[in-house]
Structure 1
Amino acid sequence: MMLSRRNTLQLYIYGTLMLCVVGKAVEPLISTVALRSLSEAETRLPCRHEGDGQVVQVSWSRFRASGNEERIIMYHFTEGLKEFTDFVSKMRFESLDPTKDATLLILNTAESDDATYVCKIATFPSGNTDITIKLTVWSRPISNVEAVELVEGQTFRTAATCRAVGWPQPRLTWDTDVAGQAQNRSVDARTVSSQFSLHPLRSLDGRRLDCLVWHPTFDTPQRIRNRLVVHYPPDVWIEHRGKGEWYVGLEDAELKCVSGGNPKPHNITWARLEGSMPEGWRPILTAH
């Protein structure tokens, strides 16, 4: 039978469409999802078959940057569950029937769980479906401030050091109204430190020098409260109670020694230049 050119073209188009349909049925459907989680949290990796056909088997594997495959867990509709040794009690299926919902739970996520995860769903007669999840694990910063006790008259020096460790690397700033200079340094990919330096003056004692830790896991920066400590010697002067000059026979005469200073003096001693203290005198200790 002779075919016209039009019939030949129609047959070719029909055959091409059939090949496409058949080809689509046997090739894996690959979907990639990017997820982010926190260390020490529970992480949920969704995987669910939405197409036609009966789910025969589901399995999870993960790939690190090296490309090596680590098999995690598998479920076969007749043979049941198989958990691989390295992940027992660490990861499990969320559903009791993984053929309906193959979502994987990482029960206590660690930074080492940062990897690419692949969920494989084998169905009959449709073929295989692969869902790839690129999981990024962040960790909230651990931070602290080390304050330095300063002394009035010292040269320009470090008053406090703030450190933070997290992933991604945190950022540090200072919240203060005192004049000084901040110097930040990256220790490694996760660790940063910041030093705040100034000229120690007694007027700075007790002033605010807070460290602010900025990180994508925080809605607002974490504030580490800190106060400057500047030691300085006391300025001593003597006050007396009452008005006017003292005279012979004055009763309850009182001299007050005012010292100040930081830290406060532990002991105050009275002496009289002309000799011993007057008869009947006694010190009165007052708490400040």
Structure 2
Amino acid sequence: MARHDARNWHDCTKMIGLLSLVTSVIMHGAAGQRVKVEPEVLSYPGQSVNLRCAFTDATGIQLTMVTWIYEPKEGDRINIAVFHPNFQPNYPDSPVKGRVSFTTSPPNLASPSIQITDVKMTDEGKYICEYATYPSGNEQGITFLVMLAKPRNSASIVTVVAGTKPAVVARCESADGRPAAQISWVTTANGNATTGSKLAGDNTVTVTSEYRMVPTAADNGKDISCVVTHRTQTKAESFKLKLAVEYPPQVTIVGYDNNWYVGRTNVVLTCEATANPMPLHVTWKTLTGEMPETVVINQKTLTVLKVDESVNNTFVCEVKNRLGVGKDQVTAMVRGTRLPEKGPTTGSIIGAIIGVIILLAIIGTAIAMYRKRLDNKDDPPKYKPPPPKKTSSSTDRLNASRDPVTEDRPLQNQYYSTQSAEPVTDLDTYQDDDDDGAHGEEEREHYYSAAPSGWDDPGNGELPPPYVYADSDAQDRSNVNRGDSFVSPAMFV
């Protein structure tokens, strides 16, 4: 039980201490806000700087004394200026003694700003304006004096020999700057940079960066840039360089087309070489040791004036520089006859034909689609209205009774009623016909006029009203074409 109480008391003590610390920090922060200073002041060597300080709200507080304290980056605090209303300003021994003073004479406790002349790089650090007040105690504000020094920037290329081990190929330096500069590299070469800094006696910094890589012949002449960024510069400073990698000659012979036939003239071999430093000497020779008489050499070119059996040989080109020798060789085979030349335009012709076929296909497709669109616009509507109702005329009925085969005749011979208001009479109904007279009486259809006639439909055994015709009319009636419509003569009742 006692152990448990002791543990609780220890935890409570820790909590009280933490709360006291937080309260102290809050109270100190709230009080410190009343001492108004500039957070940061920038200056260059040789200039004069003003460090301003003021107590913003002294209501209910008595300002007793003000002290300026200098705290270097590395070292102890030092009082550099003290003012009490009852005494003269005092400037204790310090690195800035003789160069520091209050800006007003006599100084004012409400605004005890100071001035430092001929500032040096070593003057950089914290400057604390501290008030002794009653009853709240000391209150302070802190200003950081940042000394600036524009650096001297430079970059250079380091010439190296191609190899298998990493080497420094470029250097970049930003000397005597404050604060320290930042250096970066921009290049397509495969390497990395190492950067270091050195502090000088006057508090300036020199930054050096080296670019390292395994140098190869392919890296020679590649672009590399050193970029220096510093607070005193409005923009980054860039140094554009080119890598310098030395390597022995790399040689290639060009010009042999495997078509050296007897009698061919003026064939040329060219010895192409790359090296750093540039090649100093080019030598042509053959594996047999003797150069044919028809061969003419002019530095890097070898010309065969006329091909014969003597140039059926291996030609060697050697190039030297101070790092070594590079060589290449070509074996020439002399033919009895000339090789047939390939048609240079065969591939072009085939490609052109394929292109024309594709173009025609595209054009044909476009035309077909265009015509189809026009046909769709001209097509009749898919819905087809029903045809007009067909009505049987007297002539059709007569034809049906006289010739049963008329059902198979074309429709153009059929008659469609025009719904005329005038009655239409089929006189052939009552014509005596030797072929079907008796039979027609039995199968005679009832007569229906196109318009009301006032007569009832005759029944079986009844005759329709008498009609009077002239002889000529009867003859005309017999000549009426089937399917034709006509108007009957006047009736006499």
TM bin, normalised by shorter chain, reads 0.5 to 0.7
* 8 Å Cα contact 1:172-1:213 kept in structure 2: yes
Which one of 40, 54, 58 corresponds to residue 35 of structure 1? 40
For structure 1, the 5+ residue unaligned runs are: 1-23, 240-244, 246-260, 262-288
Aligned to 2:209: 193
Which one of 168, 173, 179 corresponds to residue 184 of structure 2? 173
Aligned to 2:51: 45
Q: Distance in 1 between matches of 2:124 and 2:159?
A: 42
For residues 243-288 of structure 1, what are the alpha-carbon distances to aligned partners after superposition, in whole Å with 9 as ceiling and x for unaligned? xx9xxxxxxxxxxxxxxx9xxxxxxxxxxxxxxxxxxxxxxxxxxx
For residues 59-118 of structure 1, what are the alpha-carbon distances to aligned partners after superposition, in whole Å with 9 as ceiling and x for unaligned? 311235778431101234453332223222333333344315322233344454444332
Aligned to 1:211: 226
Task: Give yes or no for the alignment of 1:81 onto 2:107.
Answer: no
* 1:183–1:111 distance in 2 versus 1, CA, 3 Å: same
Aligned to 2:238: 223
* 1:172–1:121 distance in 2 versus 1, CA, 3 Å: same
* 1:83–1:181 distance in 2 versus 1, CA, 3 Å: same
* 8 Å Cα contact 1:93-1:103 kept in structure 2: yes
Q: Distance in 1 between matches of 2:105 and 2:129?
A: 17
Aligned to 1:19: none
Deviation at 1:119, TM superposition (A): 1.6
Q: Distance in 2 between matches of 1:66 and 1:154?
A: 46
* 8 Å Cα contact 1:161-1:195 kept in structure 2: yes
Greater fraction strand: 1
Deviation at 1:194, TM superposition (A): 2.9
Q: Distance in 1 between matches of 2:106 and 2:43?
A: 27
Which one of 184, 194, 199 corresponds to residue 194 of structure 2? 184
For structure 2, the 5+ residue unaligned runs are: 1-26, 200-204, 246-275, 283-297, 300-304, 306-320, 322-493
Aligned to 2:78: 70
Which one of 88, 102, 107 corresponds to residue 117 of structure 2? 107
Q: Distance in 2 between matches of 1:128 and 1:162?
A: 53
* 8 Å Cα contact 1:143-1:164 kept in structure 2: yes
Partner-residue secondary structure (3-state), 2:98: coil
After superposition, the CA RMSD in angstroms is 4.4
Deviation at 1:217, TM superposition (A): 4.9
* 8 Å Cα contact 2:128-2:142 kept in structure 1: yes
Letter in 2 for 1:131: Q
For residues 102-149 of structure 1, what are the alpha-carbon distances to aligned partners after superposition, in whole Å with 9 as ceiling and x for unaligned? 2223334445444433223457x8876633215263655554334323
Which one of 168, 172, 178 corresponds to residue 162 of structure 1? 172
Aligned to 2:107: 98
* 1:173–1:67 distance in 2 versus 1, CA, 3 Å: closer
Which one of 233, 238, 241 corresponds to residue 278 of structure 2? 233
Normalised to the residue count of structure 2, the TM-score between the two structures is 0.34
Q: Distance in 2 between matches of 1:129 and 1:38?
A: 29
Q: Distance in 2 between matches of 1:175 and 1:111?
A: 32
* 8 Å Cα contact 2:163-2:214 kept in structure 1: no
* 8 Å Cα contact 1:47-1:131 kept in structure 2: no
Give the aligned length: 212
Partner-residue secondary structure (3-state), 1:194: strand
Q: Distance in 2 between matches of 1:219 and 1:56?
A: 45
* 1:229–1:82 distance in 2 versus 1, CA, 3 Å: same
Q: Distance in 1 between matches of 2:49 and 2:104?
A: 14
Task: Give yes or no for the alignment of 1:58 onto 2:66.
Answer: yes
For residues 180-204 of structure 1, what are the alpha-carbon distances to aligned partners after superposition, in whole Å with 9 as ceiling and x for unaligned? 4122244568645232435354984
Deviation at 1:161, TM superposition (A): 1.7
* 1:77–1:227 distance in 2 versus 1, CA, 3 Å: farther
Q: Distance in 2 between matches of 1:45 and 1:136?
A: 9
* 8 Å Cα contact 1:180-1:199 kept in structure 2: no
* Identity fraction in percent: 18
Deviation at 1:164, TM superposition (A): 3.8
Deviation at 1:160, TM superposition (A): 0.9
Q: Distance in 1 between matches of 2:167 and 2:179?
A: 30
Greater fraction helix: 2
